[in-house]
Structure 1
Amino acid sequence: MEQLTFGQFNLVYNMLSFAIAAMIFSGVFFVLARNRVAPQYRISLIVSTLVVGIAAYHYLRIFNSWEAAYIIGEAGNYVASGKPFNDAYRYIDWLLTVPLLLVELILVMGLASEKRSKMLTKLVIASFLMILLGYPGEIITGDTSMFSERGLWGLLSTIPFVYILYVLWGELGSTISNQSGKTGILLRNIRLLLLFTWGFYPIVYMAPFFGWEGATATVAIQVGYSLADVLAKAGYGLMIYAIARSKSEDEGYKIGRVVTAT
């Protein structure tokens, strides 16, 4: 583990804390808001809750591992404690949550059952390949240049990554063309959010390719992945809720009111 300044250690520490809070309280919102959408869209909010719940658990483990991996040295900097930092929690998290992110989006799009099943099967397989191929490059500690083993594994991981984005971008485009008003705008926005958030992960993965080394690369990767996760899970879930709410209104769903006797 690289030596970190007080500011570098606490930047990662606070970002991990922020991610935990974002995951937990967005999950609370999804649970409380599920009855505000039509029954056929509630499964998307249930899946959103699972996504942020799984992420919150793994971020707690990452947070604890980060805290245990460093101690304050004599100069006031943070030095390795001798306990390894287990960043594999991120990949375990992605292995579970990325397929669920695909599920919640495809469910809220309202595709025909047969088409939905075929698309989900292909995209879930592609998501597993994307994550499994990316992990070997992440744990390489030697040469991390673009033409190193990290670069090779990153390239292999990019193939299913591009396939997923291509399929979702096209299918969302078709869905948008069949929607109007607020729902169409929200679907267009989530397509842009999908491109921005998912596109941020490979940029963080490539941080060492740009000459960032040692503590700078470590901090950039931890902060970058945490920020991307908050947007891609909690923020994405809020967009899913907004789409489900808008589609429910378009289909005439009214929120039930409890009438009490006086």
Structure 2
Amino acid sequence: MNDNALWAVTLSNGEHAVVFYALSVAGLAMAAFALRQFTTQHEVSIRYRPAVIAGMCVALVAFLSYVVLVLKFDAGYEQTADGWVATSNAVLSWAPRYFDWTVTVPLLVVEVVAVSTLVGARATRYRAIGIALALGMIITGFIGGVAIDDGTDLGALWLWGTLSALCMVGLYVMLVMALLHARREMAGSTALPVFNLAIVLLIVIWFAYPLVYAFQGFTVTSGSYTSAQVILSIADIIAKIGFGALIHKVAKLRTAEDLAAGVDTGHAGPIWINGEPVMGTKDGRRG
């Protein structure tokens, strides 16, 4: 274990408790959201259901990664008279985040495309490019932040971090283009403001990740490690649960609008949002 690695710090009792709390709460929140997505997937039509299923998979994968993070964090630090001292397992209180992101970030792209106005070959192209950029962003970040000298080689950290940032910029361009396309095709739709909010939320919250990555290039202290774990846990909750909930609402609103337009969606019954029926049955009557 490299003694200069971000996770090789000695934590106070308070810092150890805060990290354990953040990891545990994030994991439990992911489990709850995965269950919610599973039980409510039939609230939307088959056309938009891939977005809900992708959101459920995101939460499930994140939950499993947080189980590993909690267990390895517990095993990765030993209590001594000087505080909680890192062991050789400490890296596994950090690295599984990248394993999670390698799967979940591409799935976030799938969620966006599934409820957007992109269809046919264009949807396939956007999805493929978005997934490739997402994988590039995470894998290059992992190489610089963990794989090479435990993220302590500043040259490698910034080289691979720059490549990761370029992929991130490409993802931002793709998200903005999908949003602009939706604004043209969904003008007047009640789903459009929610879709706008979902995209803006994702773009804003993703800034938290390079910020934490930069911690490794500037300072390695127990405070920076604790802050990084808390920030990433909060960012994951927002990016996976907050974003997923908005995408779910877009899917419900678009289902309701399809029903009102007489589109055969394969969905029967009213669409309920916030305890109120949005649309009635397939003939378009309001509930």
TM-score, normalising length: structure 1 = 0.90
Q: Which moved more, 1:135-144 or 1:58-67?
A: 135-144
In structure 2, the partner of 1:48 is 55
**Structure in which a larger fraction of residues adopt helix:** 1
Report the 3-state secondary structure (helix = DSSP H, G, I; strand = E; otherwise coil) of the residue aligned with 2:127: helix
Cα pair 2:76 2:87 within 8 Å, conserved? yes
Kindly tell me: are residues 66 and 110 of structure 1, through their superposed partners in 2, closer, same or farther at Cα, counting changes over 3 Å? same
The C-alpha deviation readout for 1:53-85, integer Å capped at 9, x for no partner, is: 01100110011000111122125x212345443
Cα pair 1:144 1:208 within 8 Å, conserved? no
In structure 2, the partner of 1:256 is 269
In structure 2, the partner of 1:195 is 203
Work out the CA distance in 1 between the residues paired with 2:227 and 2:156: 20
Q: Which moved more, 1:236-245 or 1:109-118?
A: 109-118
Report how far residue 142 of structure 1 moved: 7.0
> Aligned ranges for residues 3-22 of structure 1 at < 5 Å?
3-22=10-29
Report the 3-state secondary structure (helix = DSSP H, G, I; strand = E; otherwise coil) of the residue aligned with 1:39: coil
Work out the CA distance in 2 between the residues paired with 1:20 and 1:223: 12
What's the C-alpha RMSD, in Å, of the aligned pairs?
1.9
Work out the CA distance in 1 between the residues paired with 2:88 and 2:185: 57
In structure 2, the partner of 1:151 is 158
In structure 1, the partner of 2:86 is 80
Structure 1: unaligned runs, 5 residues or longer: 258-262
Work out the CA distance in 2 between the residues paired with 1:195 and 1:80: 34
Identity %: 26
Cα pair 2:101 2:138 within 8 Å, conserved? yes
Kindly tell me: are residues 42 and 150 of structure 1, through their superposed partners in 2, closer, same or farther at Cα, counting changes over 3 Å? same
Cα pair 1:183 1:246 within 8 Å, conserved? yes
Work out the CA distance in 2 between the residues paired with 1:111 and 1:82: 47
Report the 3-state secondary structure (helix = DSSP H, G, I; strand = E; otherwise coil) of the residue aligned with 2:118: coil
Cα pair 1:176 1:187 within 8 Å, conserved? no
The match for 1:230 among 237, 253, 260 is 237
Work out the CA distance in 2 between the residues paired with 1:84 and 1:166: 36
In structure 2, the partner of 1:32 is 39
Cα pair 2:33 2:59 within 8 Å, conserved? yes
Q: Which moved more, 1:33-42 or 1:44-53?
A: 33-42
The C-alpha deviation readout for 1:83-137, integer Å capped at 9, x for no partner, is: 4431221111111111111011101114221111111111111111111111122
The C-alpha deviation readout for 1:183-228, integer Å capped at 9, x for no partner, is: 111011012101112122111111244x432212211221222111
Partner AA of 1:16 in structure 2 = L
The match for 1:163 among 145, 167, 170 is 170
Report the 3-state secondary structure (helix = DSSP H, G, I; strand = E; otherwise coil) of the residue aligned with 1:79: strand
Report the 3-state secondary structure (helix = DSSP H, G, I; strand = E; otherwise coil) of the residue aligned with 1:22: helix
Partner AA of 2:269 in structure 1 = G
Work out the CA distance in 2 between the residues paired with 1:62 and 1:122: 30
TM-score, normalising length: structure 2 = 0.82
In structure 2, the partner of 1:241 is 248
Cα pair 1:177 1:184 within 8 Å, conserved? no
In structure 2, the partner of 1:121 is 128
Structure 2: unaligned runs, 5 residues or longer: 1-7, 261-266, 271-287
Work out the CA distance in 1 between the residues paired with 2:204 and 2:131: 20
In structure 2, the partner of 1:183 is 191
Work out the CA distance in 1 between the residues paired with 2:152 and 2:42: 52
